[in-house]
Structure 1
Amino acid sequence: MKPSLQLKLSQHLALTPQLQQSIRLLQLSTLELEQELEKYLLDNPLLERQEDYRTPETPRDEGNVDAPAEAGAAAEQGEHSQAEDDSWLGDQAVTAGSSGSFDDDDDGDGDYQNIQAATVSLREHLLAQLGLMTLSDRDRVLVRCLVEALDDDGYLTQSLTELSEAMPEELEIAPEELQIALRHLQHFDPTGVGARTAQECLALQLEVLPADQTRSLAMQIVGQHLELLASHDFPRLKKHTGCDDDALRAAHLLICSLNPRPGAAYASPDTRYITPDVVVRKMRGQWLVNVNSDAFPRLRINSLYAQILARQRGSGLAGQLQEARWLIRNVQQRFDTILRVAQAIVERQRQFLDHGEVAMRPLVLREIAEVLGLHESTISRVTTQKYMATPRGIFELKYFFGSHVSTDAGGACSATAIRALIKQMISAEEPRKPLSDSQISEVLGQQGIVVARRTIAKYREALSIPPVNLRKSI
Structure 2
Amino acid sequence: VAEVLELIQKFEPHGVGARDLSECLLLQLKHAGRLCPNTERIITHYLDDLGRGRLAKIAATLRISVKEVQRMAEVIRTLDPKPGRQYAGVNDVRYLIPDVTVEKINDEYVILVNDGNSPRLMVSQIYRDMMSQPGLYSAETKQYVEERLNSAFWLIKSIEHRRLTLYDTARCIVEAQRDFLEKGIKYMKPLNLKQIAIKVGVHESTISRVTNNKYIQTPQGVFELKYFFSSGIESVSGHSCSSLGIKRMIKEIIAEEDELRPRSDQQIAETLRSRGYQISRRTVTKYRLELGIESTAKRKRY
Change (3 A) 1:366 1:226: closer
| Counterpart in the other structure of 2:293 | 465
Q: Within 2, Cα distance between the matches of 1:381 and 1:368? A: 13
Amino acid of the residue matched to residue 287 of structure 2? Y
Partner residue of 2:160 out of 317, 329, 332:
332
Deviations 1:170-228 (A, max 9, x none): xxxxxxxx4444333322322111222221111111222336xx744433432344344
Partner residue of 1:219 out of 40, 62, 83:
40
Q: Within 1, Cα distance between the matches of 2:89 and 2:199? A: 46
Q: How far is 1:447 from its partner?
A: 0.9
Amino acid of the residue matched to residue 17 of structure 2? G
Partner residue of 2:116 out of 294, 298, 318:
294
Partner residue of 2:97 out of 270, 275, 281:
275
Deviations 1:429-473 (A, max 9, x none): 233322221111111111111111111111122222222222223
Q: Within 1, Cα distance between the matches of 2:58 and 2:167? A: 58
1:452 has 2:287 as partner: no
| Counterpart in the other structure of 1:43 | none
Q: Within 1, Cα distance between the matches of 2:203 and 2:47? A: 56
Q: Secondary structure at the match of 1:299?
A: coil
| Counterpart in the other structure of 2:9 | 186
Runs of 4+ in 1 over 6 A off after TM superposition: none
Amino acid of the residue matched to residue 283 of structure 1? I
Aligned residue runs from structure 1 range 360-399, under 5 A: 360-399=188-227
Change (3 A) 1:432 1:234: farther
Moved more, 230-239 or 443-452: 230-239
| Counterpart in the other structure of 2:131 | 309
Q: Is the 8 A contact 1:192 1:205 kept in 2?
A: yes
Q: Within 1, Cα distance between the matches of 2:156 and 2:43? A: 64
Q: Could you tell me the percent identity over the aligned residues?
A: 37
Change (3 A) 1:365 1:253: closer
Q: Within 1, Cα distance between the matches of 2:125 and 2:211? A: 35
Q: How far is 1:238 from its partner?
A: 4.2
Q: How far is 1:240 from its partner?
A: 4.2
Q: Within 2, Cα distance between the matches of 1:402 and 1:390? A: 18
Pair member with larger Rg:
1
Q: How far is 1:332 from its partner?
A: 0.8
Q: Secondary structure at the match of 1:294?
A: helix
Aligned residue runs from structure 1 range 22-61, under 5 A: none
Moved more, 298-307 or 321-330: 298-307
Q: Is the 8 A contact 2:55 2:70 kept in 1?
A: no
Q: Is the 8 A contact 1:232 1:473 kept in 2?
A: no
Aligned residue runs from structure 1 range 344-423, under 5 A: 344-423=172-251
Q: Within 1, Cα distance between the matches of 2:68 and 2:198? A: 63
Amino acid of the residue matched to residue 372 of structure 1? V
Q: With CA pairs under 8 Å and 6+ residues apart, which has the higher RCO, 1 or 2? A: 1
Aligned residue pair count? 295
Q: How far is 1:361 from its partner?
A: 0.8
Q: Is the 8 A contact 2:16 2:84 kept in 1?
A: yes
Deviations 1:81-125 (A, max 9, x none): xxxxxxxxxxxxxxxxxxxxxxxxxxxxxxxxxxxxxxxxxxxxx
Amino acid of the residue matched to residue 321 of structure 1? L
Amino acid of the residue matched to residue 189 of structure 2? R
Q: Is the 8 A contact 1:232 1:472 kept in 2?
A: no
Q: Secondary structure at the match of 1:374?
A: coil
Deviations 1:331-373 (A, max 9, x none): 1111001101110110010111111111011112222222233
Amino acid of the residue matched to residue 261 of structure 2? K
| Counterpart in the other structure of 1:257 | 78
Amino acid of the residue matched to residue 418 of structure 1? I
Q: Secondary structure at the match of 1:301?
A: coil
Q: Is the 8 A contact 2:186 2:241 kept in 1?
A: no
Change (3 A) 1:463 1:272: farther
Flag structure 1 segments of 5+ consecutive residues without an equivalent: 1-177
Flag structure 2 segments of 5+ consecutive residues without an equivalent: none
Q: Within 1, Cα distance between the matches of 2:50 and 2:277? A: 36
Deviations 1:113-160 (A, max 9, x none): xxxxxxxxxxxxxxxxxxxxxxxxxxxxxxxxxxxxxxxxxxxxxxxx
